Every structure is written in C-alpha cells, then in structure tokens.
Chain A
Amino acid sequence: DGGITQSPKYLFRKEGQNVTLSCEQNLNHDAMYWYRQDPGQGLRLIYYSQIVNDFQKGDIAEGYSVSREKKESFPLTVTSAQKNPTAFYLCASTREINTEAFFGQGTRLTVV
C-alpha cells in the first residue's frame, strides 16, 4: 500500500534535547511538508521541500531543521531553540506543488 509513514507515534523530549521525527513516503511524490497542529488552531506550515536537496522555510520554521537527502524521506528535527515544542506534528506529500495532499498519521511530541 502506498502512503506516508511517520514515526514514532508518541515522543517525549526533555528540556534542552534535540529530537528527530521521521517521515517516509512511497508515493513517489516530489514535494513534502511538515505541519504543526495545536489545539484550537489550524495547521501551520513549518518547512517544505519541492525536490531532493532543497527545502524552504514555512510560517513557523524557527527552532526546527530539516533535510531532504532522499526523495522518500523528509525528517524534522525539533531543536532546543524551539521554546514550545509540545504539539501534534503532521507530515504530508504531493506529487507536485499544486496537487492533492496526502498526510501521515502524525507524531505527538510532549516536553517532559
């Protein structure tokens, strides 16, 4: 089955730690995205990548970093500079920029 796999489903981070969220897709899509979802707010774009080895900041990129070394993979690192990282993180992909978006099942990150 084609789709997007996010792991882990739940992640706990201590103060001052960096953590990395995994996102893998087997849809052969060119573009991949990371969104953050907080209660009572809409999804907000963190980073996106249209092609391998290229990525762009979204609306709330501060405290996050990404890489796109392979077409299938777009990991997100939440750094210690992100002051309020507790949220639900969603990865998405599209065949091209202007086509239907498909989402993974999300990773819930909690700071302990």
Chain B
Amino acid sequence: KQEVTQIPAALSVPEGENLVLNCSFTDSAIYNLQWFRQDPGKGLTSLLLIQSSQREQTSGRLNASLDKSSGRSTLYIAASQPGDSATYLCAVYSGGGADGLTFGKGTHLIIQP
C-alpha cells in the first residue's frame, strides 16, 4: 500500500529565506504527484502537478521536482514571504483499486516577518 511521508512536520524560518519541503513515497509506480497549500480551516489549493514522465514544474516562486525512481519530491520556495505561511501537502496518484490521491500529513510552515 502506498505511503507518503513529509519532512519536516513543521518549519519556521525568517522572511526572505529560500526553503525546501520534502516528500517521499514508498511505491514508485505513480501516475502523478501534486503539491497543495492549506490555510487554517480552509480547503486545499493546488500549487503544482507533476506527471510521472516529468522531472519538475515551476510556478512563480515555487519549483517542484520529482525523482520517481527514488520515491522523492521536493518543493522549493524562493524568497519566502509571511503570506506563504500555511500547511503544505504532498499527494500521489497511484491508480489501482482505490482511485484517489494518497496524502502525506503535511508540513506546517511559518514565515516570520
């Protein structure tokens, strides 16, 4: 059964720093990987989707990479801002019997002004 782990569980950094969030998954046979942002009490906002054939995707200050063979993805946030404070979730789609996403527990990020 696919399992997704996110490290660290929480992270607090000063404004302006570049940072990396990590995601690992146990079964490399995935179709895609998606990064989401969740603000307290809110739904999920899609940040980036990487298909299994892709190595990375970029959107503004965000860059996500995928190394399918090693079961790893990273989300790079450049020049962090207080507005980036949120929980970041990684999820993979593996297909198979239950056709939904498998989620990690998230990284709670605080950017200090």
Contacts and interface: CB of A to CB of B under 8 A. Distances in A.
Interface of A: 4, 6, 31, 33, 35, 40-45, 48, 50, 56-59, 90, 92, 97-106, 108
A41 B105 contact: yes
B44 A48 contact: no
B77 interface: no
Interface in B25-62: 31-32, 34, 36, 41-46, 49
Contacts of B34: 100-101
Interface in B92-110: 93, 95, 98-106
Interface of B: 4, 31-32, 34, 36, 41-46, 49, 89, 91, 93, 95, 98-106
Contacts of B32: 98
Given A100-B46, A101-B34, A42 B100 contact: no
B99 A43 contact: no
Is the contact region of chain B dominated by helix, strand, or loop, or is it mixed?
Answer: strand
A92 B89 CA distance: 15
Contacts of A44: 103
A103 B34 CA distance: 12
Given A41-B105, A90-B43, A103-B43, A48 B95 contact: no
7 A-B pairs with the lowest CB-CB distances in the bound complex, closest first: A45-B100, A42-B103, A103-B44, A105-B43, A103-B43, A43-B103, A100-B49
A85 B41 CA distance: 17
Residue among B44, B46, B93, B95 with most chain A CB within 10 A: B44
A71 to B, nearest CB: 17
A4 B31 CA distance: 24
Contact of A105 (B42, B89, B91, B93): B42
B99 A35 contact: no
Given A98-B31, A100-B49, A101-B34, A45 B98 contact: yes
